[in-house]
Structure 1
Amino acid sequence: MDFTKAEKLESQNEVQQPQQPTKGTSFFRTCFNGLNALSGVGILSLPYALAQGGWLSLFLLFLVAVLCWYTGLLLRRCMDTHPLIKTYPDIGERAFGYKGRAVVSVFMYVKLYLVAVEFLILGDNLDKLFPNTAFKVAGMKIRGKVMLTSLIVLPTTWLKSLALLAYVSAVFPTLCSSMKDRSKFSKVLLVCFITSTINYGSMAVMGYLMFGEHLKSQVTLNLPIKKMTTKIAIYTTLINPLTKYAIITTPITTAIEETSLFCNSRSLSILIRTALVSSTVIVALTIPFFGYVMAFIGSFLSVTASMLLPCLCYLKLNKAARKMGLELIIIVAILVAGLFIGVVGTFTSIKQIVKHL
């Protein structure tokens, strides 16, 4: 987005067009959207994380929630610096120019790609429903769980419009820009993070108390095989990749299609989306470790996108924040904590992934 040109166009539109009434989502709908965005398949690995990290990890969960809540407020303040800022990449561009937009976009797209890989790794649960579904290609054993999951979600990625999937997942550029009353955004963040933290913490504690040190990377893999309740739980879990996979990958495929010479070609669109799904299958087969992939995404990508970049963008856009005071101390503390969590977590997760290859 070129903010200078956009400002001129905006001023012309204000003169030529009558002012329209403000529209947007209500407080409660925004809270629902926020909870939907914060809730994901990562909750399945929390009992395993608690078993590995001990009870101290619950305190770290609470600490990270508080830090992310505060950086969410910083993002809102960044958006308030310019009326044309609607998305996270817009904030990056406003703060650091085109390079800032590129960095934010890369982190977003890579994270989305790996989340799509997670959904396929989640196919481990299919072994509970369809055991012994494996075959070999070029001497490599390929378990049917990953292939079956990819075949199920593949047709959903061919949809040019995601209207058919919109009812199961709220898609919005930003929570803040979608609100009718943006002044209530801080309350939305508070409600969302408190509710999500309680939900995640409860899942971690209950899963750990039920299965103890024998927990697997996904708590659903510890459930009894032949019970009907287990099958219901697994089917419910598998609804997540079926309904969200296309929504997760669409920003990536859209960005690729926009750079191609035949962006309006339906055949090319299907080819690109099929190739993307195929690539996630290859990665999922190469690194079939749900817990470690989750740890890498959380440590490197999520910490950078949720903690480090918001602080850096805010300091760049708000000169007053750079003056010595309580706010600067808090931001520096978040940067230090984020760097520590990111470096240690990324090193540990990559070490575990390499160890199990």
Structure 2
Amino acid sequence: MHYNFGIKWLKAFRESSEAVCKLYGPGNDFVFEDVMLDQHNIDNQDDLHRLFAPYANKDRSNGVGIHNFRIRSYIGDRNFGLLRWEWQPEDAGVFLGLDVAGKPFGTQGHTFHIYRDGMIKRESSWWDAAAILRAVGPVSPTKIPTGAYQLTGSTRSGDVKLSGARAGTLAFAQDWCNALARDTDVLRGLYAEYFTQEWAMVDDHEKDTITDTQMMKGWLGGIAGGKNGTYTFKATEYLGDERCGLILWDVTIEGASTYRGLPTKGKTLQTIGSTFQQYDSDGKIVLETTRFEDNRVFVALGLPIVRPHYWRADFDPASLAA
């Protein structure tokens, strides 16, 4: 597809459930997920209609909110690609179970689509939940998972042996996972001379967009150096080809005292995430955008996050605005 389809897709959000659901299928021949809202393997039109209903709300007084989306870019072709977008709800009363009345907030995210015959066959959506909490409380998670920018010290905690797999494969994705967790110098070798990484909501490109080796070590060196826990990543799926694609991964965090600056109380944490990568003709990474599924970690750490299953037939829609 292309950027124009992304605009059409988001316009349909605001129009009606019927309008947006017509872009999936045909019929029940699709899989939808927005893991941040605990929406996994939605594969039928009835659930999908209920799922999209809040985004078409036009009543500013009912607490559901007006949900404004804006496309930042589309990377891909007619078969698959990544939409990067921004989300700015207005007049919402409750979001993620949190009181957001009168509190401006927003986030950024990415959605990977696989298309067939002009329709969405698979969708995987991810966004920055930590940005919501920084805006509305009750805590303010850091953008960097380990809690702080790595100014000094080693950014290596173990040996990394790369398989030599070509970019655009699950084996290459696992090489990337291993280097990310153990040695930032090895990780840097997977990237082109000029590259861009986004690991959080971009409020300021100077601080939030990684574009050189020093910034990479500052943002990610704490993970590789094991300064605040041991991170173990496992690539579970790769969607794409040798030009670009989405890596789905699991991560286990052991021995960390904090996660995004929040006390872990000695807990071992587990979650999932996604990373989109674009490659040059030599198989080097030129663009990367990553999202952690932070909500399940926040729940494990005792935060009052609630993700209601409002796509289910027996769900009370009024509770979304309670």
TM-score after normalising by structure 1: 0.26
TM-score after normalising by structure 2: 0.28
Higher helix share: 1
Q: Quick check: which has more Rg, 1 or 2? A: 1
